Chain A
Amino acid sequence: MNQFLQQLINGLSLGAIYALIALGYTMVYGVLRFINFAHGDVFMLGAYVGLYARRYLAGQTQAGPSLGLAVSVLLISMAVCAIVGMVIERLAYAPLRNRPRLTVLITAIGVSLFLEYGGQQFFGAGPHFFAPIIPSYKMHTGALSITSNELIVFSVTFVLLIALTFIVLKTKLGTAMRALSFNPTAASLMGINNSVVISFTFGLGSALAAAAGILWAVKYPAITPLVGLLPGIKAFVAAVLGGIGNIPGAALGGLILGVTETLVVGYSDLLHIPPSYKDAVAFVILIVILLFKPSGLLGKTTSEKV
């Protein structure tokens, strides 16, 4: 039982990171009906910006890991990536607003590859080491142990989710976002500036992805410019699992995926599935969902009108 709970904690902390990335996918899809293939690479950028920010800040102040350092790194990375996300949208996606989704999808693949291989060019192929930003310790309750890494993942994710819920439900921009996801034409007729809202959505999603990137780097400190590939695709699966376009769904999907993946590895003997199949878990879930309930767990099935 203890092992199960321990695995659960591990799985939830992984799932929290997936959830943060998945939220960006789902918000952009909700507003534009478009899968931003490059989102996983913003996650990667977040980790790298954090790495450089940490070097700079720690260098300036000669400080070691601390809460203050962690918060500063997070905020800097989130701000930078929010801007990057908005710039990408303006340059590569906005001009294609009236083109079929296929064209934009191909462009997104191009942006993704550009970020990955440009990253290799700019940062080097890696791996690069992300120095700790919080002091490490372990908490023990009974037979379970929770490390500071997991604590920071849970607390940051919790705070960000609360903030996101507030933004989406209580602010004008958030409400505009929801309006756009239902009916862009009506939204603009109501006086909403669609372009601004779309930019905002990209910025918000990118900030969350950046936070996810930092949290990932805290857990797995060796990062490369290609680090966004797998988590990006898996987070997308999580978003589809929860119901693409549905914000609580993305969070739920992320958690489910993280837990499932961890349990498959943790119980690989029992399940007779070699741990090296863990990456396939996400894809199998994807296929199953697409075949049986493409609208996801929390999504609504909409029939197309002809």
Chain B
Amino acid sequence: MDSLLELRDCTMQFGGLTALSKLSLQIGPRDLVGLIGPNGAGKTTVFNIITGIYKPTSGTIQFGGQSLVGRKASAIAARGVARTFQNIRLFASLSVYDNVRAAFTMHLKHGIAHALWRGGSFGREESEISDQVIDILKIFGLEDQRDVECKSLSYGDQRRLEIVRALATRPKLLLLDEPAAGMNPREKEELMELIQFVKEKYQIAVLLVEHDMKVVMGICMRVAVLDYGEKIAEGTPADIRKNPEVIEAYLGEEAKGPPPAPTL
């Protein structure tokens, strides 16, 4: 399988602190991979170097055959990498509708001149975008809240909106940073279904950082484990659960979680 995303020997140093050390990771175009590890292991840093917020001190990152290192974050997003954030980063003063609409700016066929002149093609594209926004909101059950200020949404809805906004950029790879944080068990069930639905419907790869073992073991095909910036194990959820190093570093009691879901 050709990998969609390939990190090779990526190291990230902040002054004297080494956050990531020679990390290699491969993600195929239809994979659902989980990234776990204790706090401080470097998981969000992995996201940050992939999405261009940091430039890795050394190593390569290839996406669809092209290097991502050194590119601006918006350029990387334009290539098809979308993400959500650990502390939800919605556009607080915008409505649900506008949060998603903002994600369409990337694929606009017209620019400033059209926005000012407002000719025929502008109108057509605007209503196309409008339709697409409504469609995607409908699919995820947010359509009836479209004009609500996103701050007023419930926590679970806000997380969902962030995922919807990321999907609106038509990505090939979706990075989810602790999407289950702060959710109750029912919401987590819904989240697991949501992620699997998204992966199937949009035919994308998903890389998931999570602390909740039930979620990770429940939906991931493969799991990579980080500790102190190094990958200490990678394999199926069942393998990981049995891996002594992983248990020692992290899992402990939670190793006795529920059995993994059948592979998709």
Q: Which of B1-54 contact A (CB under 8 A)?
A: 14-15, 44, 48, 53-54
Question: Is A303 touching B48 in the complex (CB atoms < 8 A)?
Answer: no
CA distance A306 to B15 in the complex (A): 16
Q: Please name all residues of chain B whose beta carbon is closer than 8 Å to the beta carbon of A303 when the two chains form the complex.
A: 14-15
Q: Please name all residues of chain A whose beta carbon is closer than 8 Å to the beta carbon of B53 when the two chains form the complex.
A: 306
The count of residues in chain A whose C-beta lies closer than 8 Å to any C-beta of chain B is 3
Q: Please name all residues of chain A whose beta carbon is closer than 8 Å to the beta carbon of B15 when the two chains form the complex.
A: 303
| Interface size of B as a range | under 10
CA distance A306 to B83 in the complex (A): 13
CA distance A306 to B54 in the complex (A): 9
CA distance A306 to B43 in the complex (A): 12
A contact patch SS: loop
* Min CB–CB distance A49 → chain B (angstroms): 44
Question: Is B48 touching A306 in the complex (CB atoms < 8 A)?
Answer: yes
Q: Which of A254-306 contact B (CB under 8 A)?
A: 303, 305-306
Q: Please name all residues of chain B whose beta carbon is closer than 8 Å to the beta carbon of A305 when the two chains form the complex.
A: 14
* Min CB–CB distance A142 → chain B (angstroms): 50
0/1 string, A218-246, CB within 8 A of B gives 1: 00000000000000000000000000000
Q: Please name all residues of chain A whose beta carbon is closer than 8 Å to the beta carbon of B48 when the two chains form the complex.
A: 306
Closest A residue, CB atoms, query B54: A306
Closest A residue, CB atoms, query B48: A306
Closest A residue, CB atoms, query B85: A306
Closest A residue, CB atoms, query B47: A306
Closest B residue, CB atoms, query A302: B15
* Min CB–CB distance B152 → chain A (angstroms): 20
* Min CB–CB distance B54 → chain A (angstroms): 8
* Min CB–CB distance A190 → chain B (angstroms): 23
Closest B residue, CB atoms, query A300: B15
* Min CB–CB distance B2 → chain A (angstroms): 30
Q: Which of B52-82 contact A (CB under 8 A)?
A: 53-54
Q: Which of B229-250 contact A (CB under 8 A)?
A: none
Q: Please name all residues of chain A whose beta carbon is closer than 8 Å to the beta carbon of B44 when the two chains form the complex.
A: 306
CA distance A306 to B86 in the complex (A): 10
Closest A residue, CB atoms, query B89: A306
CA distance A33 to B54 in the complex (A): 24
Q: Please name all residues of chain B whose beta carbon is closer than 8 Å to the beta carbon of A306 when the two chains form the complex.
A: 44, 48, 53-54
* Min CB–CB distance B149 → chain A (angstroms): 18
CA distance A305 to B12 in the complex (A): 13
CA distance A305 to B14 in the complex (A): 10
Closest A residue, CB atoms, query B51: A306
CA distance A104 to B238 in the complex (A): 54
0/1 string, B190-224, CB within 8 A of A gives 1: 00000000000000000000000000000000000
* Min CB–CB distance A306 → chain B (angstroms): 5
CA distance A305 to B85 in the complex (A): 13
Closest A residue, CB atoms, query B86: A306
CA distance A303 to B15 in the complex (A): 9
7 residue pairs A–B, Cβ–Cβ below 8 Å = A303-B14, A303-B15, A305-B14, A306-B44, A306-B48, A306-B53, A306-B54
- Identify the 3 closest CB pairs spanning chains A and B, nearest first: A306-B53, A306-B48, A303-B14
